[in-house]
């Protein structure tokens, strides 16, 4: 049984809802602009991080301390310009020291402070691993250099197989990029998260960072161009509700496998689906109702 099902978590959420003083829970109030209608997804519990870089909020993350990885990241899509920045990986000092300034900090070249190591994933967790660092909020979906750099915090990263990260999941990020650039006229809110294994948790080698079985993503673009081509008819205002495999050994009920895909990418398929279908799978796995967007992104902006 994972911590998601623990009644204590729900008590904490309920308590946290009216008492934002709960020290560990954090607060999305300073970064509600990254959520459609200022309404963060409902149903998942964790530590709330307003991701701050060079004194500006860049996106929001629901972080799981026991997993040392995020449950979802939420951000505003902006059409990218320029190249992916050279990554300097960062951590969140406030997870290690509650009173700390919330700006993310680049890992030092030498040893890392033990409180930081205890409170979150560090670069060592991912080195010599069979998993790559998978961005939930990808650098590709941002315009400014600073917004792109800010995605390189390990609190925005999950262990993701190269076959997914460099294959179908990357293709999805590019499809979303192209679709939103072409047809989204106003803001596009994106939420990207993970689905944990149902029974046996998988971990990175030293048992510190939990591996997700699937990644999911959905966008909400309330103000869009109505003259959509036929193949995009059902993709607005909300879609690319998508689930991507992160394990070729997973069963095929949620995402079937394309047996003729290139061997490198085989078993890492992404299936696009309506938001309702995605929420059904989330409810199934988290054993609680999960709502990604306010009124399923049906209203106006």
Residues in contact with ligand NAG by CB under 6 A are 79-80, 140, 174, 177-178, 181, 185, 225, 227, 247, 249, 258, 260-262
Closest distance between ligand NAG and the C-beta of residue 167, in Å?
A: 10
Query: By C-beta, is 31 or 242 nearer to ligand NAG?
Result: 242
Closest distance between ligand NAG and the C-beta of residue 224, in Å?
A: 9
SS3 labels along 187-200: CCEEEEEEECCCCC
SS3 content of the chain, % helix, strand, coil (to 5): 30, 25, 45
Whether residue 49 contacts residue 68, with contact meaning beta carbons closer than 8 Å, is answered with no
Contacts with 228 (C-beta within 8 Å, 6 or more apart), sequence order: 183, 235, 236
Query: By C-beta, is 225 or 298 nearer to ligand NAG?
Result: 225
Secondary structure class of 135 (helix, strand, coil): strand
Pairing of strands 56-64, 69-76: antiparallel
CB atoms < 10 A from the CB of 154, how many?
A: 23
Closest distance between ligand NAG and the C-beta of residue 278, in Å?
A: 19
Secondary structure class of 228 (helix, strand, coil): coil
244 strand-pairing partners: 215, 270
Q: Which of 226, 232, 213 has the alpha carbon at shortest distance from 159?
A: 213
Whether residue 59 contacts residue 74, with contact meaning beta carbons closer than 8 Å, is answered with yes
Closest distance between ligand NAG and the C-beta of residue 252, in Å?
A: 13
Query: By C-beta, is 88 or 227 nearer to ligand NAG?
Result: 227
Closest distance between ligand NAG and the C-beta of residue 117, in Å?
A: 26
Q: Which of 209, 184, 176, 175 has the alpha carbon at shortest distance from 194?
A: 209
Closest distance between ligand NAG and the C-beta of residue 206, in Å?
A: 17
Query: By C-beta, is 38 or 174 nearer to ligand NAG?
Result: 174
Query: By C-beta, is 44 or 221 nearer to ligand NAG?
Result: 221
Torsion of CA 244, 136, 134, 88, to 10 degrees: 170
Closest distance between ligand NAG and the C-beta of residue 247, in Å?
A: 5
Secondary structure class of 218 (helix, strand, coil): strand
Query: By C-beta, is 115 or 225 nearer to ligand NAG?
Result: 225
Query: By C-beta, is 131 or 239 nearer to ligand NAG?
Result: 131
Closest distance between ligand NAG and the C-beta of residue 92, in Å?
A: 28
Query: By C-beta, is 249 or 300 nearer to ligand NAG?
Result: 249
Whether residue 156 contacts residue 58, with contact meaning beta carbons closer than 8 Å, is answered with no
Q: Which runs of E-coded beta strand occur in the chain?
A: 47-53, 56-64, 69-76, 90-91, 105-106, 132-135, 157-160, 189-195, 202-203, 210-211, 214-220, 238-245, 270-273
């Amino acid at each position: 049984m994972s911590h998601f099902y623990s009644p204590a978590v729900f008590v904490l959420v309920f308590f946290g809802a009216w008492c934002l003083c709960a020290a560990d829970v954090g607060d999305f109030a300073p970064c509600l602009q990254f959520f459609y209608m200022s309404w963060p997804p409902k149903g998942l519990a964790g530590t709330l991080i307003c991701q701050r870089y060079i004194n500006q909020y860049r996106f929001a993350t629901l972080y799981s301390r026991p997993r040392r990885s995020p449950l979802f990241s939420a951000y505003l899509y902006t059409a990218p310009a320029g190249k992916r920045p050279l990554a300097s990986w960062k951590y969140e000092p406030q997870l290690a020291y509650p009173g700390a300034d919330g700006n993310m900090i680049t890992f030092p070249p030498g040893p890392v402070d033990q409180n930081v190591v205890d409170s979150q994933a560090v670069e060592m967790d991912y080195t010599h691993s069979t998993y790559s660092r998978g961005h939930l909020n990808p650098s590709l979906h941002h315009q400014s250099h600073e917004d792109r750099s800010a995605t390189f915090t390990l609190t925005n990263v999950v262990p993701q197989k190269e076959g997914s990260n460099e294959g179908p999941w990357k293709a999805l990020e590019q499809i979303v990029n192209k679709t939103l650039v072409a047809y989204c006229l106003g803001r596009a809110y994106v939420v990207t998260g993970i689905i944990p294994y149902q029974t046996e948790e998988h971990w990175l080698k030293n048992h510190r960072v939990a591996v997700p079985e699937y990644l999911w993503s959905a966008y909400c673009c309330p103000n869009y161009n109505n003259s959509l081509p036929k193949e995009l008819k059902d993709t607005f205002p909300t879609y690319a509700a998508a689930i991507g495999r992160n394990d070729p050994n997973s069963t095929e009920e949620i995402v079937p496998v394309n047996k003729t895909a290139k061997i490198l990418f085989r078993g890492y398929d992404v299936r696009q689906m309506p938001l309702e279908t995605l929420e059904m799978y989330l409810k199934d796995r988290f054993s609680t109702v999960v709502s990604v967007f306010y009124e399923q992104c049906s209203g106006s902006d």
